[in-house]
Amino acid sequence: GDATAPHLSLGHGLGRAARHEYPGLTWSGVDLDPEGGDPGDTAEQLLRELAAEPGEHPAVTGWRRGRRWLPDVAELPAELAPSAPWRSDGVYLITGGTRGLGLALARHLVRSGVRRLALVSRSGRPLGDDDRAIRTRADLVELEASGAEVLLLAADTGVPTQLRAALRRCREHFGTLTGVVHAAGLPAGGMVARSTLADAGRVLAPKVRALGPLAELVAADVPADERPELLVLYSSAITAYGGIGESDYCAANTVLDAYGTALAATAGPTRVVSVAWGPWQHDDWQDGSGTDLAERARAYRREYGFSDAGGCALLDSVAAAGHGAVLAVRQPLAEILREWSATLDLGVLLAAAQARPARERFARPALRVDFVAPRTELESIVAEAWGSFLGIDQVGVHDPFFDLGGNSLVGLAMVHAVEQQLGQSIPPALLFAQPTVAQFAAALDPDGGADDEAALQTSSDRGQRRRRTRGKARR
C-alpha cells in the first residue's frame, strides 16, 4: 500500500541490462521513501547501499519508514483459478494482435469460444503482396472462418491519441469492451554504446506511452459498469535478469511491470495482471537472425520456451486469478539466472556489437600527460591495438584510454584483439581497472614491465614545472 512512482523504474530496468555490456560496472537500484523523512536518515540509507557489495544478480532495494526491503519471488501453483477468464459473449481487444504472441492469443480465444475480437496493429489490414502481408490476411480469414467477428484497427500504441481512438472505435462497434491485452512491442535496439535516444524511444514508446490510455480505462472516475473486467500487460522476463543489447527493452518492460503492480492495487473491480513472459518456442523477432547470440537464444527457446498452447493455457489461469505482476517461466529462477549468465561472454558481445578497427588514424590529441613511447614489446603490442581501434597514430604508455575517446564497446573489441594476438585469456574488466598501456601491460606481465614509477614521476615533475611557469606569467 506504500506510494510508488512507477515511471522512475525505467532507470532500474536500464541499469539491470546495461551492466552486462560494461565489464567492471556494477548496478544497484534504490527506491527511497517518497514521503521523505529526516535527510540524515536518507543520506545514511544511500551510503549503506553504496557501500554494499552488489550481488551477481542485483535487485532494487526499497526503504520505507527506516526499514530496508528486498523483492521476493514466490512460486505460484500451476492452477491458480478454476475457470478461464474469457467470456463467450465478451469483447476483447489485443494490441499487437496480428502476429507473434498477440496472434497466438487471438487464436486461443476463438478456440475458447470468444466470438468478438478487436485486433490492433500499426499498419491495419495489409494490402501488399509480400509474405508477411499474405500471411496476415490468411490469419484473419482463419479467425473469421472459426466463427469470430474480427475488427482490425490501425493504431500505433506508442502514440496515445491513436490508441485512445482504437479503444473508442472498439466500444462504438461492439457496444462494450470486456478486456484488453496489451501485447504490442518492438524488439530491443541493441548495444547502449551504439544506441541513440531516438533508437531507445522507438522501443520504449509501444510499451510505455500506451500506459496512459490503458490506465484511463480503470481510472477512479470511470463508472464501474464502463470499466473492462480485465487488463493484461505483456511484459518480459528480461526484467529479471537483463541481457546484452536489451537495455531499452528491459527498461520498457520494467516500467510496464511497475505500472501493472500499481494499477492492480487501485483498479477496483478490474483485474490487472502484468505477465513477464519467459521465452516462447516461436519468436518472430529472432527467428530471422543468424548471429551467434540469436542461435543461443533459439536453442534455449527450443528447450525451455512456451508452446503457443502452453503459454495461453497459463495465461488463462493467471488472468483469472488476477495476481498483479507475475513472472512466467518454465525453470526455477535460480537456474534461469545461471544459464542465462553463461551466454553473456565477450565473444557474443563482440559479435552483437560488430566493433572494428578504425580505417583512418589521426594525430594524438592534447592530454593531461606527456607522450611516452612504448618501452617494451608488450607495451608496443598494446599501444598498437589501442591506436588501431581508436584511430590514433601514436598512443603513449600513460595516455588514459577513455581520455583518448575510448568507450566500453571499443575497449572490449580491443581487449579481444590483444587476447587473440597474445594467445592468452584477458578479463574484459582489466581495461577498466588498468586504463593505460603501461598499467595494462604490467598487469598482463608483472615481471616484464618498464619502470613506470620513475617515468610517471618525471612526467608529473614536468607538468608541475609548466604550471609554475604559467602561474608566473599570469602574475
- Mean pLDDT is lowest, of 214-218, 266-270, 379-383, for 266-270
Mean pLDDT to the nearest integer, 103-117: 96
In a domain? residue 450: yes
In a domain? residue 74: no
| pLDDT level of residue 166 (50, 70, 90 thresholds) | very high
* Separation CA 57–CA 71 (nearest Å): 12
Instruction: Select from 24, 32, 27 the least CA-distant residue to 58.
Output: 27
**In a shared domain, residues 197 and 260:** yes
In a domain? residue 363: no
- Mean pLDDT is lowest, of 321-325, 347-351, 389-393, for 347-351
| pLDDT level of residue 16 (50, 70, 90 thresholds) | confident
In a domain? residue 131: yes
In percent, how much of the chain has pLDDT > 70?
A: 81
**In a shared domain, residues 43 and 126:** no
**In a shared domain, residues 233 and 320:** yes
The chain-wide mean pLDDT, for the chain, equals 82
* Separation CA 123–CA 444 (nearest Å): 55
Distances (CA, A) of 194 to 185, 259, 283, 288, 457: 21, 29, 24, 21, 38
Contact 291, 350 (CB under 8 A): no
Specify the pLDDT at position 336.
Answer: 78
Domain containing 226 — which CATH number?
A: 3.40.50.720
Which of 39, 69, 99 finishes a domain?
69
**In a shared domain, residues 338 and 448:** no
Domain that holds residue 211: 91-349
**In a shared domain, residues 65 and 95:** no
The SS3 of residue 235 is strand
pLDDT tens digits for range 395-442: 999 999 888 887 766 777 788 889 888 988 887 668 877 889 999 999
**In a shared domain, residues 266 and 318:** yes
Specify the pLDDT at position 265.
Answer: 87
**In a shared domain, residues 243 and 333:** yes
| pLDDT level of residue 466 (50, 70, 90 thresholds) | very low
In a domain? residue 358: no
Specify the pLDDT at position 340.
Answer: 67
**In a shared domain, residues 185 and 299:** yes
In a domain? residue 63: yes
The answer, yes or no, to whether residue 165 has pLDDT greater than 60, is yes
pLDDT tens digits for range 191-233: 776 678 888 899 999 999 999 999 999 998 999 889 999 999 9
* Separation CA 59–CA 194 (nearest Å): 26
pTM beyond cutoff 0.85: no
Joined together, the cell numbers standing for residue 119 give 485486433
**In a shared domain, residues 244 and 141:** yes
Domain containing 419 — which CATH number?
A: 1.10.1200.10
Which of 18, 39, 69 finishes a domain?
69
Distances (CA, A) of 333 to 57, 74, 211, 240, 298: 11, 10, 28, 9, 19
How many domains are contained in the chain?
3
Cα 330–Cα 333–Cα 335 angle in degrees, nearest 5 = 85
In a domain? residue 266: yes
Residue type, 385: A
Q: What is the rounded (10 degree) CA torsion for 105, 111, 115, 119?
A: 20
**In a shared domain, residues 64 and 103:** no
In a domain? residue 455: yes
**In a shared domain, residues 156 and 275:** yes
Which of 331, 349, 367 finishes a domain?
349
Specify the pLDDT at position 344.
Answer: 59
* Separation CA 261–CA 402 (nearest Å): 41
Specify the pLDDT at position 410.
Answer: 76
**In a shared domain, residues 176 and 291:** yes
pLDDT tens digits for range 240-253: 878 777 889 999 99
